[in-house]
Amino acid sequence: DGGITQSPKYLFRKEGQNVTLSCEQNLNHDAMYWYRQDPGQGLRLIYYSQIVNDFQKGDIAEGYSVSREKKESFPLTVTSAQKNPTAFYLCATQGRGSSGNTIYFGEGSWLTVV
């Protein structure tokens, strides 16, 4: 959705290199998520955060790290420990109360290992 900005759109990583994907939101949502999507596959949860300075591992957290120092920002670092990082990465947010439970997605970032 327009309130979630992911950057860069395309990123190339060399073997043994750490890279960071940015996710910024102006929706004032508490919860933020990172998902990984492989070609022809569904979304798999990497990490999620319900509030600032708190986050939980999803189903495929190994080789990834996150931080949540600000409500607006939830960057994802793909470390050299992630052996097969080539994928499409999606950031999402979710509000509470009057905004309902709708989860909104950014436009995604493509990461390729070269």
Partner 1 sequence: EDQVTQSPEALRLQEGESSSLNCSYTVSGLRGLFWYRQDPGKGPEFLFTLYSAGEEKEKERLKATLTKKESFLHITAPKPEDSATYLCAVQGYTGGFKTIFGAGTRLFVKA
Contact set with partner 1 (CB under 8 A): 1, 31, 33, 35, 40-45, 48, 50, 56, 58, 88, 90, 94, 100-108, 110
Choose between 85 and 89: whose C-beta lies nearer to partner 1. 89
Choose between 58 and 75: whose C-beta lies nearer to partner 1. 58
Q: What is the 3-state secondary structure (H, E, C) of 78-110?
A: ECCCCCCCCEEEEEEEECCHHHCCCEEECCCEE
Choose between 78 and 92: whose C-beta lies nearer to partner 1. 92
CB of 62 to partner 1, least distance (A): 17
| CA distances, 5 to each of 15, 16, 26, 42 (Å) | 27, 27, 9, 21
Q: If we measure between CA atoms, which residue out of 109, 114, 94 comes closest to residue 9?
A: 109
CB of 110 to partner 1, least distance (A): 8
CB of 80 to partner 1, least distance (A): 26
| CA distances, 70 to each of 5, 44, 65, 74, 110 (Å) | 15, 24, 16, 8, 24
Choose between 60 and 80: whose C-beta lies nearer to partner 1. 60
